[in-house]
Amino acid sequence: MTQLQNPTPLAAPDQANKSLAPLPKGGNSAADQVKVTAVTHWTDKLFSFQTNRPPSFRFQSGEFAMIGLADNDGKAITRAYSIASPHWDDHMEFYSIIVPDGPLTSRLRHIQIGDDIILRPKTTGTLNLARLRDGKRLYLLATGTGFAPFASLIRDPETYERFDEVILVHGCRTIAELGYSQKIVADSRAHPLIGEMVTAQLHYVPSVTRENFTQTGRITTLLADGKLASSLSLPPLDANFDRIMICGSIGLNQDIAAQLLAKNFQEGNLSSPGDYVIERAFVGDGI
Ligand code: FAD
Ligand code: A2P
């Protein structure tokens, strides 16, 4: 795929005294290393980056991999990251939070073009199309960096072959935090290969909770009061026709799952595809 064009990126964070340690010698084969080819800072807490893709690296849209850096002692610090790029792309893309004292992201925030990062070859995850029964509409519900797996899925032609309509809802606190999803959706609509199906079949619903915006409110509220479907002139959620993927904090995931269970939606897995699937966007939020 063509590289994403960087829109007016923010200045990279201060690099002083933050040089990255070289990759650890032991435990990481050359096959685990990729080179950073682009970095965009969207806010002071969010950035995306691209790397080369090892020729043998395979994954399914919506999956995550372990990526990381070496610490000052040469020990690998790796974390789960959803792969934001589509499976057919020749580069890898990731979308990251910055946790100020986070072992990985306090370092990862300083990566620059040409740096090496660790990318473990194994991929996995629950947000895949194979876990869902056929249906008419696919709802992709994300908050924050939970958008990352959907950045991959909305660029996968199979998503549009399986479902007539795809409704992507991205909830954030502020408008600035929508920058990455807005850019991915705009680029996907304009893409020479997938643009036509994305334009015809994808509804993008960005929603903000702590500023005024065209759409405000939590995803849970938009779902519960039926405003989400009605604003798109779609019928109310119905387990006979609608399929759902959820990726956010544990609270969001639980609240949406409770709403869906009350409407007789069943969670899907590989042996028994269902009506909805859930992935946590991160761990450690109180559980
Ligand atoms: P950690 O010690 O890992 O985290 C410190 C605390 O920061 C956590 O306890 C949590 O409260 C908070 N936190 C961590 N990650 C996030 C986040 N993404 N959003 C909000 N708060 C967070 N992170 C991404 O940025 N992008 C991804 O695509 C992504 N995909 C993930 C997929 C899975 C399946 C899981 C389980 C996690 C994913 N994460 C993702 C979280 C990621 O693994 C790390 O937790 C994150 O990069 C922070 O690493 P850290 O070492 O700096 O801090
Ligand atoms: P709110 O601003 O009302 O807390 P965060 O940055 O904390 O991860 O939040 C990202 C978005 O997810 C925010 O819009 C936030 O709304 C929303 N959010 C957080 N927790 C929940 C939840 N349990 N249910 C629905 N939305 C949530």
User: What pLDDT, on the 0 to 100 scale, is given for residue 284?
Assistant: 73
Ligand index nearest the alpha carbon of residue 149: 1
pLDDT tens track for 209-219:
999 999 999 99
- C-alpha dihedral, 234 to 139 to 137 to 192, nearest 10°: 110
Per-residue pLDDT of the chain (287 residues; tens, 9 = 90+): 433 333 333 333 333 333 344 444 445 555 599 999 999 999 999 999 999 999 999 999 999 999 999 988 989 999 999 999 999 999 999 999 999 999 999 999 999 999 999 999 999 999 999 999 999 999 999 999 999 999 999 999 999 999 999 999 999 999 999 999 999 999 999 999 999 999 999 999 999 999 999 999 999 999 999 999 999 999 999 999 999 999 999 999 999 999 999 999 999 999 999 999 999 999 876 54
The Cα 239–Cα 203 span in angstroms is 19
Q: Please tell me the distance between residue 210's alpha carbon and the centre of ligand 2 in angstroms.
A: 10
Residue nearest to atom 24 of ligand 2 (CA): 252
Q: Which atom of ligand 1 is nearest to the CA of 80?
A: 43
Q: Which of 71, 282, 285 for a ligand 1 pocket mutation test, highest count of atoms within 8 Å of Cβ?
A: 282
Q: Please tell me the distance between residue 145's alpha carbon and the centre of ligand 1 in angstroms.
A: 9
Using an 8 Å Cβ cutoff, are 87 and 151 in contact?
Answer: no
| Ligand 2 surroundings by CB, under 6 angstroms | 143-144, 171-173, 209-210, 218-220, 249, 251-252, 255
| Ligand 1 surroundings by CB, under 6 angstroms | 64, 79-82, 95-97, 99, 102-106, 144-145, 148, 279-285
Q: Please tell me the distance between residue 193's alpha carbon and the centre of ligand 1 in angstroms.
A: 32
The token pair at 255 is 């609240």
Q: Which atom of ligand 1 is nearest to the CA of 144?
A: 19
Residue nearest to atom 1 of ligand 2 (CA): 209
Q: Which atom of ligand 2 is nearest to the CA of 208?
A: 14
Residue nearest to atom 21 of ligand 2 (CA): 252
Question: Residue 226: left if φ>0, alpha if ψ -120 to 50, beta else—which one?
Answer: left
